Each structure stands twice: as C-alpha cells, then as structure tokens.
Amino acid sequence: MQQVYSAEKIFTGEEWLYHHSIITEDKKIVAVVPSASIENLSTLKYTTLIPALIDLQIYGAHGKLFAMYPEADALFKLYDYCSMGGALHFCVTVATNNYEVFYQCIDAVRDYWKQGGKGCLGLHIEGPWINTVKRGAHIASFIHSPSVEEVKALLEYGKGVIRMITLAPEVCSEEVVALIRSYDILISAGHSNATYAQAVEAFNTGIPTVTHLYNAMSPLQHREPGLVGAVFNHPTVMASIIPDGYHVDFAAVQIAKKIMQERLFVITDAVTETTTGPYPHQLAGDKYESNGILSGSALTMLKAVKNLVAYCDITLEEALRMCSLYPAKIAGLPLGRIEQGFTASFVALDDNNEVLKVID
C-alpha cells in the first residue's frame, strides 16, 4: 500500500525541494514529486522532512548501558533515545570487555530483532584488540593482541550481528584483519598508537575508516604525523568524530572538516549513567566520565547537527549529511537520501528544527 508524505520543504541529502511529496511503498521510496501533481491520494503533511540520522557508535540509554544489560529491553530504550534525536538507525556499541559479555550482547541483538525491534543495525565491538597506550577509559586487563582462532570463534558466533569492529592495526596481524574483512564487517582503526607508516599500510590493505578522530590515537606531530596525519592525508579513508566540544574542540572539528570534507562523519559516542561494572559512567555536565576519565558524550545526533552549525561554521545541509549520508556511505546502507529506491526512513522537524515525528 502506498503512503504519501508531503512537506513544505524536503532535504533529499543533496538539496532542498519545496512543496514536494514522498511516495512510499513496502518501506521503499518509489517517487519524490511536486505535491501539486498528486491527485486523490491521502497525504500526511509536515513542515520539514530530512533523511533519518544514523549513529554508528552509541553504548546505551535511559540507565541501561548495553554491556551491563545485554538484553532486548536495553535496545528498546536505546531506540527510544536515538529516535528522540532523529537517529532511526544505530550500531549498539560495546567497549573492551570479556568474551562472555560479547556473546551475551550478540544474543540480545538477535532477541531484539526477533521481537520486532527497530533501528539496530547490529553490534559495534570497540576493542579489546587495541593498544593499551591509547586505551582511554577502556580497561587495560582485557586488552590484548588476538589470535586467529579466537577471532574466528567470535565472528562465527556473531555472524549476521557483528557489523563493525574497532581495533588498533599495529596490534593485529594481517591474517586477523583479512579474516574480519572476509565476514563483511566494517573495520575501523582506533585506540591506536600506530605510526604514520603503519596507519597508511593499514589503510592501503583494507581498513576504510577511523574511530573518533583525535581521541585515543597517535596525534599529528611534525616529525611523526601519526594516525591523525595518515587519515588527513589519505584520499579515501573516512573518520568519525564526536562534536560535543569536550571530546574534540570545535576548532579542531573545523580543521578536520576543511581537510577531509566528505570523509568526515559524526557519531555520538553517547553512554548512560551507571554505577556498576567495569565502566561506571557518571554524568559530569554535558559529558560522562568513567573512573575519572572522559568516557562518553551526552549527545543526540540532532544535537550534534546543531553543534556543527552553531560552533563549527558548517552549513545545516552539510551537517545533516555528516549525520546521515556519510555514515550510510561507510556502512554501505541504502539510507541518507530521500530519493527513489532508497529506504523510506526520515524525520519530520518542527519550525525550531526539533523532532516532531519519526517515519520508519
């Protein structure tokens, strides 16, 4: 059955269309046409429609950190939090932990899907195959270089659920990286002390993106450009960034944007308050700390859009792309655009650019 959504203005992911309508069928966009051309079709009318935002790194919401509550209810709460901020698609993320927790989280994602849960693209495992020198708030006792056998066991158990893995390329063998790639999992370099040469080699052998640019990685220095310099200087590698003003100064976001252009996309890296487990996150102003270390943001994706516009001299259109079209690109998703053939997933905004309704 066809459904029609009309709006005074629609951002397609490329441009604004005025007084147009989106025709959908079976959760696909079949046409975007001038509203005046539609006859005898019941329409839902809005002021502004934008593509659904996408968050590829978020850990929990509403008091349920997913690693501590590996259950479907935690994901229903996370979808609620994400959708309030315009993100109808997310990768639930688990930081460096033991394998039992990873397996429980894999089971919970499957259970969520069986219950009809929306939005969860799969699991993003961040660590434990990272560099202890750049661990940030991650627990050192879990961190190690993996064997091919342990990686294969995890990937087999998580087949169809594990969507993304953050690792430090300098602590993982070529065989491990190749194995992960063979499961069609997105690999991101992060929590890494890689030299410039090591990072470039990793990029050239199949690692296409970097996790939370600047944070927990070898910095750009004039005698050793590090991982930051490598991603700046590479023509295709993308990177996520956390634009909350705490993880990264807004001026540094501007610098990265000028260099990387369409290769830079946004994550929230958002956590939720918890007092138990290895990661007891406490809200400290507009950010979270764990064991006295900056650990996660309190962002929503829509708040990130607004920060980019207000503090980073980025246009609204480009800020929306950084939060929808570009993460869709790196994740290989038919999202981020409102045009024929793409998934019907978009957000209605009110006159103050706040979420009025989500359509998915």
Residues designated catalytic: 269
Nearest partner of 94 among 80, 78, 83, judged by Cα: 78
- Kindly write down the DSSP assignment for every residue of 287-306, as one continuous string: EEEETTEEEEE---HHHHHH
Enter the DSSP assignment of 28: E
Enter the DSSP assignment of 353: S
296 - beta bridge partners?
288
Residue 175 burial by Cβ neighbours in a 10 Å radius (0-12, 13-18, 19+): exposed
For residue 199, give the H/E element and its range.
Answer: helix 196-204
Count how many residues are written for the chain. 360
Asked if 32 and 341 touch (Cβ cutoff 8 Å), the reply is no
Asked if 46 and 5 touch (Cβ cutoff 8 Å), the reply is yes
Residue 221 phi/psi, 5° resolution? -130, 155
